[in-house]
Amino acid sequence: MWSQRRVVDYGLAKRAVVRSLRSGRASRRDVCDAQPYLLRAARHFGEPTERPCPVCEKENVTNVTYVYGDALGRHAGQAKVTSDLIAMAHDYDEFRVYVVEVCQGCSWNHLTVSYVLGNGPPDLAGQA
């Protein structure tokens, strides 16, 4: 996305959780704990993927995208579809986006990535 910055990928954390599950250090109940609101958001606002669930491997995970930021007002904390983010990036200076993958079959859920969007000034860190 044109204004995406300050990206944090949670792939290593996800692999650690899956590894803990497969080694027996964590139970399925520990990692398949999606709240009903998250499952509803996946059903109504989620975007299907081609990635199989790392736990049940029966269904593909769904990405649910949430937005947070002081400038968003009543929109803060809402689930959004990607097309909404494009318009919001033009309308707001800065807000944070969180993408959670959810399995609607076994209730697996994990934060996959977060990033900042908006039309505010670009980050200048690391530039000379």
* Full-model pTM: 0.89
pLDDT at 126 over 60: no
pLDDT of residue 120: 78
DSSP one-letter string for the chain? -TT-EEEEE-HHHHHHHHHHHHHTSS-HHHH----HHHHHHHHHH-EEEEEEPTTT-SSEEEEEEEEE-GGGGGGTT-EE-HHHHHHHHHH-S-EEEEEEEE-TTT--EEEEEEEEESSSPPP-TT--
Residue type, 51: R
Taking only the tens place, the pLDDT of each residue in 36-46 is 999 999 999 99
Q: What are phi and psi of 37, to 5 degrees?
A: -60, -40
Average pLDDT over every residue of 66-73: 94
- The whole-angstrom separation of Cα 39 and Cα 65 is 12
